[in-house]
Structure 1
Amino acid sequence: MNPLQLIKRVLLYVLAISLLMFTFYPFMYMIGTSFKSMNEFFVNPFSILPDSFTIEHYFSVFDMGLTTYFLNSIIITVSAVVITVMIASLASYPLSRIKFRLNRPLFLLFVAGMMLPIHATLIPIFVLTQGMGIYDTLLALLGPYVAFSLPISIFILTQFMQDIPKELEEAAQIDGANHWKIFWKVIFPNVVPAISTIVIYNFVFLWTEFVFALILITSPGKMTLPLGLQNFYGEFMINVPGLMAALTLASLPVLLLFILAQERVVKGLTGGAVKG
């Protein structure tokens, strides 16, 4: 290795470590602050490691209803993600594997949904949920969550399914399989990496979604986690260590999901990148 290559490699490692510290510091600060007492936070608010660890804030956030918010978020997020995966998978199969006249227009229509701003739909969705009698229920969130998760999901799955060799489908047809069996036995098992990608992408988006929850939910017992965290803001003072404890617990499902499925996510993101 010549000196120029060595210098480039050293600079690359320095840049990577700098970016790691820049992105990792807020997370470490959140965890460290959650173990501080209120007095210590006011005395030394910018330090990462507390002088004396306390877990009282982790108990207090559950007393303030974090368990209810957590369960509501789990129920609505998992339900929306499962429904999104099923609908997107079934829609992507004909769009990617079956030739018909409206194939391309329908695909472009779904892709156009990614450009639709969420805020432009708030009033129509608010009126619609009230008219359907599901306002202030978790069911009111299910429709918007699935609708705004479908465009990107169909886009990813369609691109991924197009790369599956035609020979697999033709072999299944020779064995007498219809489209339904081909989808479940051949196509679906081969798009698991792409499904992992859309599961994590949509889970993170829905887990942190705030606007629809703010508009469609008013009862404390129906609030999701992002909306319920508002209750940690007092009238005259914010319990910052308690808020950090709640945020630490709220981030655990997303981190765990990504750690378990990160390899499949990379395959799903790069699977449709190469054609031919």
Structure 2
Amino acid sequence: MLSAFKRISLYAVALLFLFFTGYPFLYMLATSFKTQAYFFESPTSLWGTFVWENYKLVFELGIDRYFVNSLLISIISVVIVILTSAMVSFPLSRIRFKLNRPLYFLFLAGMMIPVHTTLIPVYVLTREIGLYDSLWSLTGPYVAFSLPISIIILTQFVKEIPKELDEAAIVDGSTHARLFWSIIFPLLTPAIATIGIYNFIHIWNEFVFGLILITTPSKMTLPLGLRAFYGEFSVNIPGIMAAITLGTLPLLIAYFTAQEKVVKGLSAGAVKG
């Protein structure tokens, strides 16, 4: 009887959390199919008019161009972060040298730097090297501020991989490079999925650096493109909801595709031994 009551209580709590986390998505989707007139008449209603005009409008305003820009810069930045952080984590966790601990704490300190305090130096540097107002100007800041936490996560994950694998590979004549790419890197899949999803979401939603470093409308990312729905005297809320709905699709697809690996990567290293 007690176990049944406990099970029912857990399901009730789970349904409560599902409501609080799922309702905003349901409201966003429902609002994206409303007309502006109906939205102002009944802003909290989930059911009412069902029109496609908002989705037609967002494509007319160029959301496909903003979408492609965000997808391109997000994928390139995440790939660079994954490869770089994986290669850095290997010597930090496996090779002993004098600067091992100082470098580790340097990356750890990088997580404590407020990102937006670097806006002015990044802006000046970007203009000096001739990358201002290009998508490539965003790659540097996105990669740089994603590396510290990615390196810390992967370093801890590599430490959990048995060192006997290294010894066996070296006895067989393997070099450190081959050891990393053939043995260590494939075993990092859960942690790579974790940092990949985490950084993809962060980069996809980033606004401030895009606002500072991009001025040409055709080169803007999706968060910048959403400003097109803000008029001088009004805001097209159903249109914004339609754009946000389309903008969240890559995040949902990426997360549900790698969900199991993300959970495994987050739990890896939590318990030693």
How far apart in 2 are the matches of 1:44 and 1:181?
63
1:86 maps to which of 78, 83, 88: 83
How far apart in 1 are the matches of 2:37 and 2:9?
42
- Matched letter for residue 239 of structure 1: N
96-105 or 146-155, which moves further after superposition?
96-105
Matched, 1:123 2:120: yes
Q: How does 1:175-194 map to 2 (within 5 A)?
A: 175-194=172-191
TM-score, length basis structure 2: 0.97
Shift of residue 195, structure 1, vs aligned partner: 0.3
- Matched letter for residue 113 of structure 2: L
Shift of residue 10, structure 1, vs aligned partner: 3.0
**Partner of 2:216 in structure 1?**
219
- Matched letter for residue 30 of structure 2: G
Gap regions ≥5 residues in structure 1: none
252-261 or 105-114, which moves further after superposition?
105-114
**Partner of 1:255 in structure 2?**
252
**Partner of 2:45 in structure 1?**
47
Deviations 1:63-91 (A, max 9, x none): 10101111110111111000001110110
Matched, 1:16 2:9: no
How far apart in 1 are the matches of 2:247 and 2:67?
8
Matched, 1:166 2:124: no
How far apart in 2 are the matches of 1:273 and 1:98?
23
How far apart in 2 are the matches of 1:251 and 1:151?
26
How many residues were matched structurally?
273
Matched, 1:142 2:104: no
How far apart in 2 are the matches of 1:6 and 1:156?
39
SS in structure 1 of the partner of residue 233 of structure 2: coil
Gap regions ≥5 residues in structure 2: none
SS in structure 2 of the partner of residue 148 of structure 1: helix
1:102 maps to which of 99, 104, 107: 99
How far apart in 2 are the matches of 1:133 and 1:215?
15
Deviations 1:28-56 (A, max 9, x none): 0000000111221111110112x231111
Deviations 1:67-121 (A, max 9, x none): 1111110111111000001110110000011111111111111011111001110
SS in structure 1 of the partner of residue 111 of structure 2: helix
Matched, 1:30 2:54: no
SS in structure 2 of the partner of residue 115 of structure 1: coil
Shift of residue 146, structure 1, vs aligned partner: 0.2
**Partner of 1:114 in structure 2?**
111
1:63 maps to which of 25, 41, 60: 60
How far apart in 2 are the matches of 1:67 and 1:271?
38
Shift of residue 6, structure 1, vs aligned partner: 4.1
162-171 or 191-200, which moves further after superposition?
162-171
How far apart in 1 are the matches of 2:17 and 2:263?
20
TM-score, length basis structure 1: 0.96
Matched, 1:205 2:202: yes
How far apart in 1 are the matches of 2:123 and 2:57?
34
**Partner of 2:129 in structure 1?**
132
Identity over aligned pairs, percent:
58
2:229 maps to which of 222, 229, 232: 232
* RMSD, aligned CA: 1.0
